[in-house]
Structure 1
Amino acid sequence: MRAIDVLKTPLWVAELASGAKSFCDNPIIGSRRLNEKGLHVGRLRLAQKMSDWRRRRLEGLVSAEDRQQYAEQGYICRKNALADDELAGLRREVEENTFHAYDMRQGNAVTRFIPLPPHVLEALPYLKRFVNGPLFQGSLRYVASSNSDPIFYLHVVLTKPNNGKVDPQTHFHSDTFQPTAKSWFFLYDIAVEEGPFNYIPGSHRLTEKRAAWEQMQSIHAADAKNRLHARGSFRLNAKEAREMGFDDPVAFAVPGNTLIVADTHGFHARGKSDRPSTRVGIYGSLRRNPFLPFTGLDVLSLPGLKGRQAQLHMKQLEFRAKLKGKKSSHRYVGKISITAPADFGS
């Protein structure tokens, strides 16, 4: 063992009690011997128990119907989420303004992230009401089992199919070993040909077949050729999904004014686009340490930090890229309209 590894060992051990998930970056999490003895599955089981325990304390944030849908399917889907006048006002604010934007290119898709810190929302009352409102906030916090401040953006997915590149988000995957929440409020209709969000119903629960599959993956994950798989975002194919007893995926080709909140420990993917498309929405995400025994006490909810996670995250990515002498994965593209053309590369 190298001297640097000896120094890092306490950190690697400490990460076992956190949301750390990478098998290739942490030799303890990625240990074949320890995972053969059940380390990974043990973390999975404990994370799910703690999440269920916290979520029961947050039942008042959503309706009984939403709680049942989440329990059975792993997601909440709410159509006609906003009244007509609120939706029209929100669309108008999004369409008629320009925003500081960051583009991330993955294969034949570009995802545009637009932070909405408090000083931006002050001039956009419809957007402000939505992202701070009980529907968006409550459903995210319930599914994530954490009464904390989520990260959120205006979110645009632009696709250019048939350019010879593959979008890795079109492969079914689980984001991480712990229950976690992502949401999309779609402002406009999404057609099935435009690559809608796909989710395998019920795959958020740790069944015995899923646990056996997870253990098998964990033994070899550190050496996986797929880098995302090696970092703990496990990929699976249709045959594996069937063998675990899951139903076919649901493709959310939905009308505008639909909110979807999904537990992305469950298997999901971006659908493959058959034609160039632009998908506009409001995106939210919430993930905390899965082993916390409480729902709140969130530092990022304090005054001065609340609502600024997206802005701070982009600055962090830029700083990290500069330290490594590389370009950030999220490239700043200026103050633009939400549907401005994207650079798909050569």
Structure 2
Amino acid sequence: MPAIDRKSTIRTLLLLPFSALQLLTGAKSFLDNPLIGSRRLNTLGLHVARVRLAAAMCAWRRRRLAPMVRADWRAAFDRDGFVVIQEIVPPGEFAELRAAVLAYEGPAREMRQGDAVTRRLAIDPAMLTAIPALRAMLERKDLVALFHYVASFRTTPLHYVQTIVSHDGSNETDPQETIHADSFHSSLKAWLFLNPVAQDEGPFTFVRGSHRFTPERLAWEHQRSLACPQTTDRLSARGSPRVPEHERTAMNLPLPEGLAVPGNTLIVADTVGFHARGASARPSERVEIWSYARRNPFLPWLGGDVLSLPGIAERR
């Protein structure tokens, strides 16, 4: 056995206890964990068992959180996997809030994926102090209850001011424009659009009902666990599966739907459902308040998130 293979084998064996512990977390990469990526174990049903257990735990937590959520929002989410709420901020207050957010200056980070640049500015204590209306909106009890329900935990999301610039001049493909799921289990993402988003300007796109683990979805999860990581793209092998059209139709799912929306629209979605950023026909800029939350899917309790405590949550 070559020395490099011997070292790799020894390292895998030494890390095996840690790899086993990761099975009880949200770890999702078929490349980085030899157990998660084991074709033999997945033939026996390991991946599907993790998917089933995570979905059952999520459903159990949501049943306990449901009474706090507006009935129409809950019904829309349960049916479609996302909720669209127009004029989430009273129209008379939105222009002032938007202007304050867009005028705020602070440190930002950005990343490039394909021909798109994503820039994020964390909504931290300084911003919340400078823009009280933003704090008031993010602390609204009805919105907090909806965020908890979709996340399936009483957890405080990370909030950012996010700008997405499409077609920055490169010839690479934006991987976010391919229909995909973020992981094998539920998580929350939300977008409060500060500007209108047209159908041909990179709208949030979702396959309605794809957040449900039907027999067809479970069969697809099983098949992809056998293909990873040998015959799939790198993002799929790392646990964020891309979904070709023929596989979507085999799951009896509808066409992806781009959600063109006016400004002051909030979309809250479970990104275990199949979604993407729609294609943009021209260079464009999307500005939004973006929120994100994902916890260990196997936890039985609703709270207990130290990072959500006041004084900590807004400083993460």
TM category, shorter: over 0.9
Give the whole-Å Cα distance in 2 for the aligned partners of 1:82 and 1:56: 28
**Structure 2 residue aligned with 1:220:** 227
**Structure 1 residue aligned with 2:67:** 60
TM-superposed CA distance for 1:134, in Å, is: 2.7
Q: How many residues align?
A: 309
Q: 1:253 aligns with which of 260, 264, 272?
A: 260
* 1:119 maps onto 2:126 in alignment: yes
**Structure 1 residue aligned with 2:175:** 168
SS across alignment from 2:159: strand
Q: Deviations over 1:209-237 (max 9, x none)?
A: 11111100001212244111001111111
* 1:27 maps onto 2:50 in alignment: no
* 1:281 maps onto 2:288 in alignment: yes
Query: Does the 8 Å contact 1:13/1:28 carry over to 2?
Result: yes
**Structure 1 residue aligned with 2:188:** 181
Pair 1:125–1:304, CA change in 2 (3 A): closer
Pair 1:174–1:63, CA change in 2 (3 A): same
Give the whole-Å Cα distance in 1 for the aligned partners of 2:26 and 2:293: 12
Comparing 293-302 with 166-175, greater Cα deviation is found at 293-302
| Structure 1 segment 34-183 matched on structure 2, within 5 A | 34-160=41-167, 163-183=170-190
Unaligned ranges ≥5, structure 2? 1-5
TM-superposed CA distance for 1:110, in Å, is: 0.5
SS across alignment from 2:246: helix
TM-superposed CA distance for 1:303, in Å, is: 3.9
TM-superposed CA distance for 1:250, in Å, is: 1.6
**Structure 1 residue aligned with 2:250:** 243
TM-score by length of 2: 0.94
TM-superposed CA distance for 1:308, in Å, is: 2.0
Give the whole-Å Cα distance in 2 for the aligned partners of 1:237 and 1:56: 32
* 1:202 maps onto 2:209 in alignment: yes
SS across alignment from 2:249: helix
* 1:230 maps onto 2:237 in alignment: yes
**Structure 2 residue aligned with 1:319:** none
Comparing 97-106 with 271-280, greater Cα deviation is found at 97-106
SS across alignment from 2:14: helix
SS across alignment from 2:156: coil
Give the whole-Å Cα distance in 2 for the aligned partners of 1:225 and 1:144: 28
TM-superposed CA distance for 1:118, in Å, is: 1.3
Q: Deviations over 1:254-283 (max 9, x none)?
A: 011111011100000001110111111100
Give the whole-Å Cα distance in 1 for the aligned partners of 2:171 and 2:126: 41
Q: Which amino acid aligns with 2:83?
A: I
**Structure 2 residue aligned with 1:341:** none
Q: Which amino acid aligns with 1:57?
A: R
* Same amino acid, percent of matched pairs: 45
SS across alignment from 1:259: strand
Pair 1:222–1:7, CA change in 2 (3 A): same
TM-superposed CA distance for 1:288, in Å, is: 0.5
Q: Which amino acid aligns with 2:129?
A: E
Pair 1:70–1:303, CA change in 2 (3 A): closer
Give the whole-Å Cα distance in 1 for the aligned partners of 2:168 and 2:120: 20
Query: Does the 8 Å contact 1:161/1:275 carry over to 2?
Result: no
Give the whole-Å Cα distance in 2 for the aligned partners of 1:82 and 1:225: 42
Give the whole-Å Cα distance in 1 for the aligned partners of 2:150 and 2:142: 12
RMSD in angstroms over aligned alpha carbons? Answer: 1.4
Q: Deviations over 1:61-99 (max 9, x none)?
A: 321111111111011111111102321221110222222
Q: Which amino acid aligns with 2:147?
A: L
Unaligned ranges ≥5, structure 1? 310-346
TM-superposed CA distance for 1:187, in Å, is: 1.1
Give the whole-Å Cα distance in 2 for the aligned partners of 1:235 and 1:195: 18
**Structure 2 residue aligned with 1:313:** none
**Structure 2 residue aligned with 1:324:** none
